[in-house]
């Protein structure tokens, strides 16, 4: 069998050669600790600050607003628990949506155990949060609104600008989990009224185990790890320099010709969606038809078991997923698919195909052919 066709880029992406090359010197020769004074340490510190500048630049933020973390989950945990703790004198109410990633949902659930109250906004049939409902949920004791930029399962882009304006107009801080969007779409914190933003390197062809939190100047947050003075005293512990350098390089590459790549990827995505809906009877697209992540396709096939379909796809060398990677192993229908109210006879037959900048038209064609054959096979059983 030839190379696998990898269509699970929402779960993780392949690190690019250029990223690996940027990291290599910091794995071996330049092993210095960024907190020491001699030249080894200086070199590590300079490389780390260079990565911070690159990332800040991509967001039109200041380098001092970027904090390195171990990834998207940590950034979400820090943002939510941190703001909830820092501003608890004002109140103990948070607003989120019911289709967030578990890093957000479980952080909110933890706060509920501590006595906070959380409003979980529902979504429409496309998976979109209503800004009106968000505004209506705000109370005098609300401190934080946290809504994802783009959904990892169904791809829908949330109305971030409107939500941010509502939060700001009501004295509420706004956090967005942009793990699926950063590096795929241009995002500017000058344009978007977000106060905190989470991102993760392995979702944009960087290494695993590293990410960042953007924190708007003036917004207070307690330290996430108490220790040394790293990350301006907010996150103690010797920094993972090779990973941070790799993330900086990946962010730089993701920003290059971003608008052109975005268009190309969205066109290939649309081509694939149309081909599936046209060639496979009783198929439907989940999520918004055009306000969606450039690489995301979530489709459901009526009367087909999604898990069996994934196994047959794998036999054809195609990697796809059911809901999010975090839900594999559980056979029940994903909470996101449930929240969209997708008809039951379709919901169980849901697969997610996520493209990357490396996906080719030939791979798309081969995948649709495999889907077509295998959906028909499963319907015969
Ligand atoms: C992958 C993902 C995360 C978790 O990021 P990690 O770096 O793997 O911890 C959080 N939110 C969303 C939307 C994701 O897709």
Query: How far does residue 1's CA lie from ligand 1's centre (Å)?
Result: 31
State the DSSP string of 52-69. Answer: HHHHHHHHT--GGGEEEE
Ligand 1 site, residue 69, Cβ cutoff 6 A: no
Ligand 1 site, residue 158, Cβ cutoff 6 A: no
Per-residue pLDDT of the chain (381 residues; tens, 9 = 90+): 467 999 999 999 999 999 999 999 999 888 878 777 777 788 899 999 999 999 999 999 999 999 999 999 999 999 999 999 999 999 999 999 999 999 999 999 999 999 999 999 999 999 999 999 999 999 999 999 999 999 999 999 999 999 999 999 999 999 999 999 999 999 999 999 999 999 999 999 999 999 999 999 999 999 999 999 999 999 999 999 999 999 999 999 999 999 999 999 999 999 999 999 999 999 999 999 999 999 999 999 999 999 999 999 999 999 999 865 445 555 578 999 999 999 999 999 999 999 999 999 999 999 999 999 999 999 998
Ligand 1 site, residue 336, Cβ cutoff 6 A: no
Cβ(235)–Cβ(224) below 8 Å: yes
**The model scores a pTM over 0.75:** yes
Residue 326 annotated as catalytic: yes
Atom 6 in ligand 1: which residue has the minimum CA distance?
72
Catalytic residue among 98, 108, 319, 326: 326
Our CA dihedral for 22, 27, 30, 31, rounded to 10 degrees, sits at 150
Rounded CA-CA distance 3/363 in Å is: 10
Label the pairing between strands 296-301 and 283-285: antiparallel
Ligand 1 site, residue 107, Cβ cutoff 6 A: no
Ligand 1 site, residue 175, Cβ cutoff 6 A: no
Query: How far does residue 10's CA lie from ligand 1's centre (Å)?
Result: 9
Ligand 1 site, residue 206, Cβ cutoff 6 A: no
Most ligand 1 atoms within 8 A of CB, residue of 10, 97, 101 to mutate = 101
Radius of gyration of the chain (CA): 21
Atom 8 in ligand 1: which residue has the minimum CA distance?
72
Rounded CA-CA distance 207/187 in Å is: 21
Atom 3 in ligand 1: which residue has the minimum CA distance?
72
């Amino acid at each position: 069998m030839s190379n696998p066709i990898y269509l699970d880029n929402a779960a993780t992406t392949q690190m690019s050669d250029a990223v690996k090359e940027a990291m290599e010197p910091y794995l071996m020769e330049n092993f210095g600790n960024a907190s020491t004074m001699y030249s080894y340490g200086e070199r590590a510190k300079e490389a780390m600050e260079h990565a911070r500048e690159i990332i800040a630049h991509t967001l039109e933020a200041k380098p001092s607003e970027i904090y390195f973390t171990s990834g998207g989950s940590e950034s979400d945990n820090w943002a939510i628990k941190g703001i909830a703790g820092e501003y608890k004198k004002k109140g103990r109410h948070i607003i989120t949506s019911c289709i967030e990633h578990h890093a957000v949902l479980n952080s909110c659930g933890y706060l509920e155990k501590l006595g906070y109250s959380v409003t979980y906004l529902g979504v429409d049939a496309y998976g979109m949060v209503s800004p009106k409902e968000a505004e209506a949920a705000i109370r005098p004791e609300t401190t934080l609104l946290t809504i994802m930029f783009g959904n990892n399962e169904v791809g829908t882009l949330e109305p971030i600008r409107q939500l941010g304006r509502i939060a700001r107009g009501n004295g509420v801080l706004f956090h967005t989990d942009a793990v699926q969007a950063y590096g795929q779409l241009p995002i500017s914190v000058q344009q978007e009224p977000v106060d905190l933003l989470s991102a993760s390197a392995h979702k944009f062809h960087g290494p695993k185990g590293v990410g960042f939190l953007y924190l708007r100047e003036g917004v207070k947050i307690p330290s996430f790890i108490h220790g040394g003075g790293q990350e301006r005293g907010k996150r103690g512990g010797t920094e993972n320099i090779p990973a941070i350098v790799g993330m900086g390089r990946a962010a730089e590459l993701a920003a290059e010709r971003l608008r052109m790549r975005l268009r190309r990827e969205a066109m290939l995505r649309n081509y694939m969606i149309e081909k599936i809906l046209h060639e496979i009877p009783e198929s439907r697209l989940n999520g918004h038809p055009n306000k969606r992540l450039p690489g995301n396709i979530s489709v459901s096939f009526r009367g087909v078991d999604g898990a069996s379909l994934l196994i047959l796809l794998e036999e054809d060398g195609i990697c796809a997923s059911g809901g999010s990677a975090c839900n594999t192993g559980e056979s029940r229908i994903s909470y996101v698919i449930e929240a969209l109210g997708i008809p039951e006879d379709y919901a169980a037959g849901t697969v997610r195909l996520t493209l990357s900048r490396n996906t080719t038209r030939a791979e798309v064609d081969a995948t649709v052919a495999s889907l077509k054959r295998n959906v028909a096979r499963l319907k015969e059983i």
